[in-house]
Structure 1
Amino acid sequence: MQNLLKSNLRVTSLQRRLALSSGDVARRSDKLRERLFREFPVNAWQWLHLFLPLDKQNEPDTWNIVRWVWGEQLPLRLAVPVVQPDRVSLKHYELTPEGQLRANRWGIEEPVPDPINAPEVLPTQLDAVLVPLLAVDAAGHRVGYGGGFYDRFLAQCRPDTQLIGLNLLNDAPVRGIADVLTTDVPLHACITPDRVWRF
């Protein structure tokens, strides 16, 4: 079986994800949260980075992770990305119950930077990063939307930072991606509603 192109995987996976109902997204997102807290050493982490969902793309609802951390009063601190004015880079800020949010140009909520309620968090502080994706291969290489935001960001994290993809589709990793770039940063694991894949 030949390796697949990112563009083909991107189109087919996004179409299938967009076909999920809002109820499916909610149920599958709950399973992702359950697997994260059951199968990873979350209690050993100080900082978890996650993305806030773009609803129109049927992304995993990571707010259920946020609500769980805040509701259980876990000592885990949360950070989320903010796209910078250059439109190619990210900075990262703490997500707190007291912080304010505003929508960016894609409709994704972002913290309003604030030294008290939303201070900047450096990539080297992060113990784990939850990464959005559309597909992944057997080596942990992911297919995103093609902007390269996350690969540039993940390259700045510590070597021991756990890079974990979240996929609402119960897909096994594909055999390989034909057009992997040298700048692509592979994941350590990918969580689907049915299981965890480790690379």
Structure 2
Amino acid sequence: MFAKAPLRRAALAHRRALPAAEVARRSQQLCEQLFRHFPVAQWRWLHVFLPIASKHEPDIWRIIRRVWAEKLPVRLAVPVMQADGKSLKHYELTPNTLLRVNHWGIAEPTPPAGPEVAPAAFDAVLVPLLAVDAAGHRVGYGGGFYDRFLAQCGPATRFVGISVLDEAPVSGIADVRPTDVPLHAYLTPGGAWWF
């Protein structure tokens, strides 16, 4: 069993060590893996996160641009941090959405952000992570934002963790909390796991 804190530190260090060109290459592979393993064109709503490039997060823009380029019927939404610093609201992302970077370095739709999308509307959510275990429990940055959000989604919503680190799930995470929401699947540049 592994504790979250050392898993988080190791993953952040591994990701920081990746050259930008390698992050870009792996991000393209992640895009291909998503479209290979999931029925993206059949979804009505897909929740995506906009990457923090300085943290070498997956370049989700490759997925977003492919959805738009192929004119797929799936609609996209992104999170917006609320003033309480604890909760997220979700707004549609279109090619015309104006974005601004918040104080965490995350791009968000500018107010007024357009129609809010309820968590229950999502068919799938792409979830950022640093590590995951064989039961689908994830290690994120530790703020609990995504666990609170995923707990509000509908029972049919699929939670898909996504990482540029091409690593298999660890055997187990020792300090899983009752509020942690497990993933249904996990994507890396090299493949997919289902839980």
Q: CA deviation at 1:98?
A: 1.1
Give, in whole Å, the separation in 1 of the partners of 2:61 and 2:166. Answer: 20
> Letter of the aligned partner of 2:82 in structure 1?
Q
Structure 1 counterpart of 2:44 = 46
Q: CA deviation at 1:24?
A: 0.5
Unaligned runs of at least 5 residues, structure 2: none
Is 1:167 aligned to 2:169, yes or no?
no
Q: 2:55 aligns with which of 41, 45, 57?
A: 57
Structure 2 counterpart of 1:126 = 122
Give, in whole Å, the separation in 1 of the partners of 2:41 and 2:71. Answer: 12
Q: 1:26 aligns with which of 24, 27, 39?
A: 24
Give, in whole Å, the separation in 2 of the partners of 1:186 and 1:113. Answer: 32
Structure 1 counterpart of 2:132 = 136
**TM-score, normalising length from structure 1?**
0.96
Q: CA deviation at 1:113?
A: 3.8
Helix, strand or coil: the match of 1:164?
strand
Structure 2 counterpart of 1:106 = 104
Counting matched residue pairs gives 195
> Letter of the aligned partner of 2:15 in structure 1?
R
The C-alpha deviation readout for 1:80-121, integer Å capped at 9, x for no partner, is: 000000000000000011111011111110012447xx3111
Give, in whole Å, the separation in 2 of the partners of 1:61 and 1:49. Answer: 14
Q: CA deviation at 1:74?
A: 1.0
Q: CA deviation at 1:159?
A: 1.0
Structure 1 counterpart of 2:141 = 145
Structure 2 counterpart of 1:97 = 95
Give, in whole Å, the separation in 1 of the partners of 2:15 and 2:3. Answer: 18
> Letter of the aligned partner of 1:139 in structure 2?
A
User: 4+ residue stretches of structure 1 with deviation over 4 A?
Assistant: none
* Alignment check: 8 A CA contact 1:93 1:113 kept: no
> Letter of the aligned partner of 1:134 in structure 2?
L
Helix, strand or coil: the match of 2:68?
helix
> Letter of the aligned partner of 1:119 in structure 2?
P
Helix, strand or coil: the match of 2:125?
strand
* Alignment check: 8 A CA contact 1:6 1:178 kept: yes
Structure 2 counterpart of 1:193 = 189
Give, in whole Å, the separation in 1 of the partners of 2:13 and 2:148. Answer: 26
Give, in whole Å, the separation in 2 of the partners of 1:191 and 1:152. Answer: 21
Q: CA deviation at 1:166?
A: 0.4
> Letter of the aligned partner of 2:100 in structure 1?
R
What is the root-mean-square deviation of aligned Cα atoms in Å?
0.9
Q: CA deviation at 1:42?
A: 1.1
Q: Percent identity?
A: 63
Structure 1 counterpart of 2:85 = 87
* Alignment check: 8 A CA contact 1:113 1:120 kept: no
* Alignment check: 8 A CA contact 1:113 1:119 kept: no
Helix, strand or coil: the match of 1:160?
coil
Give, in whole Å, the separation in 2 of the partners of 1:107 and 1:114. Answer: 19
> Letter of the aligned partner of 2:51 in structure 1?
P
**TM-score, normalising length from structure 2?**
0.98
> Letter of the aligned partner of 1:168 in structure 2?
V
